[in-house]
Amino acid sequence: MADHRNGDTASWDSEQVRRAQPSRRRPRRKRHSAAFFFLKLILHILFVVLASALLAEIGWLLFSDFCSLNSGSLKAEEGISIQVTAEDTIHSISEKLHDAGLIDYPWFFRLYADFAHAEEEIGIGSYTLNNDMDYHALIAGMHSSSGSMNEDTVRVTIPEGYTVAQTISLLAKNGVNTETALLEAAKTANFDYNFIDNESEDISRLEGYLFPDTYDFYVNEKPANALNRLISNFNSKLDDELLAAAEARGYNLHKIITIASLIEKETDGSDQGRIASVIYNRLDGPGDKAGTYGLLQVDAALLYGLPDHTGPITQADKESDSPYNLYKKAGLPPTPIANPGLAAIEAALQPEPTDYYYYALGKDSQHHFFTNYTDHVNFINSSEYYGN
């Protein structure tokens, strides 16, 4: 019988198991030499330099294209013709410019065009462009006033004093686009002018700014483009002298155009300066002495606020709550009531210096002006008054 102690077998077994298991010692960390770190730094710097050079090269190419500095073989000859149709978008226009050799990177042109709201500036037509034009000049060169139209166009003359609704109806009648589409554009299209309230969705936001003139439109032209052409024409009339005259009178552009619209609707043009003087005398003068108390009492404004009105103006009409009822509301109406011509705008800026507070139309088709209410009433009650 072997001589052993209790637990010897268990101790031996445990020892055997430990010897059989793989070693769990922590692996030794590799030591990199200074040369390795130096090489890694050199590679990192080389990568940064190459990436910077590549970005600089790309940036230079884009900048050169933007500024039309790439005047080599890839660029078009001078006098290249570009046709913009009603179906064109900025994407298709950029491709046309690329195909013509005027730009190298259509995607970059589209990026700038979006930033510059070019879609509202570019009009339908045939344009002559050249390889000296940068992106801005290309867009300006495709402005409606820069091109020529073709047989698919219609010429429309918009009379002075037409409202937005009348202007849209006239454009639709001549096939520029449907009245529904034009009305929708008048309400919702974004127009890049600080005098247009793009937050509003009422067509009155364009009232006063669709300049009356003769225009050539494409048949089925984009509604926003068609309206923008009228607004752009108005904007072109706003020279520094006109704006300075408005500021000198203490009225902003909106108020000046509102006054001009009242003048436009109240007279045929022969006495606009005197009509303007009555309006300013009532707005600025001691109206209480003449019994006007700042009320302009302009019938044309009252009727603008009652678009479905027919027949003579009644006393009930003069009691309406319309903001355009200048028999009850002192001062100017909230918006212009029509699109005035340049003569009316000039009259609003340079009224005749008079003491008139009243005027009425005589049977001689002339306005008669008065400084006091008594003389005004006597004329209205006389046989000379147009209404008698």
Q: Per residue in 123-148, pLDDT tens? A: 777 888 888 888 888 888 887 655 65
On average, the pLDDT of the chain sits at 82
DSSP 70: -
Read off the pLDDT of each residue in 242-255 and give the average, rounded to a whole number: 85
Q: Which of 24-38, 112-126, 156-170 has the highest mean pLDDT?
A: 156-170
pTM: 0.66
The answer, yes or no, to whether residue 177 has pLDDT greater than 80, is yes
Read off the pLDDT of each residue in 337-357 and give the average, rounded to a whole number: 94
Distance of alpha carbon 303 from alpha carbon 265, whole angstroms = 11
Q: Per residue in 256-302, pLDDT tens? A: 999 999 999 998 878 999 999 999 999 987 655 567 778 999 999 99
From residue 350, alpha-carbon distances to 268, 277, 295, 339 in Å are: 17, 9, 21, 18
Distance of alpha carbon 375 from alpha carbon 359, whole angstroms = 10
The answer, yes or no, to whether residue 79 has pLDDT greater than 80, is no
pLDDT for the residue numbered 246: 80
Lowest-pLDDT range of 52-56, 93-97, 334-338, 362-366? 52-56
pLDDT for the residue numbered 101: 86
pLDDT for the residue numbered 72: 42
Lowest-pLDDT range of 25-29, 35-39, 92-96? 25-29
pLDDT band at 16 (very low <50, low <70, confident <90, very high): low
Read off the pLDDT of each residue in 375-384 and give the average, rounded to a whole number: 92
Read off the pLDDT of each residue in 310-321 and give the average, rounded to a whole number: 88
Lowest-pLDDT range of 45-49, 78-82, 180-184? 45-49
- Topology of domain 80-146, CATH: Dna Ligase; domain 1 (3.30.1490)
pLDDT band at 75 (very low <50, low <70, confident <90, very high): very low
Contact yes or no for 336/207 (Cβ under 8 A): yes
Read off the pLDDT of each residue in 201-206 and give the average, rounded to a whole number: 94
Distance of alpha carbon 340 from alpha carbon 59, whole angstroms = 48
Lowest-pLDDT range of 67-71, 297-301, 340-344, 369-373? 67-71
The answer, yes or no, to whether residue 99 has pLDDT greater than 70, is yes
Q: Which of 129, 102, 87 is nearest to 225 (CA)?
A: 87
pLDDT for the residue numbered 66: 59
pLDDT band at 239 (very low <50, low <70, confident <90, very high): confident
Read off the pLDDT of each residue in 229-258 and give the average, rounded to a whole number: 87
Collapse the DSSP code of 154 into the 3-class scheme (helix H, G, I; strand E, B; otherwise coil) and give the result. strand
From residue 75, alpha-carbon distances to 31, 112, 122, 313, 370 in Å are: 58, 19, 22, 66, 69
Please report, for the chain, the start and end positions of each structural domain, with discontinuous segments joined by +.
Answer: 80-146, 153-236, 240-380
Q: Using the Cα atoms of residue 242, residue 248, residue 252 and residue 254 in order, give the sign of their dihedral.
A: negative
Share of the chain above pLDDT 70, in %: 78
* Better pLDDT: 191 or 6: 191
* Better pLDDT: 43 or 259: 259
Contact yes or no for 366/274 (Cβ under 8 A): no
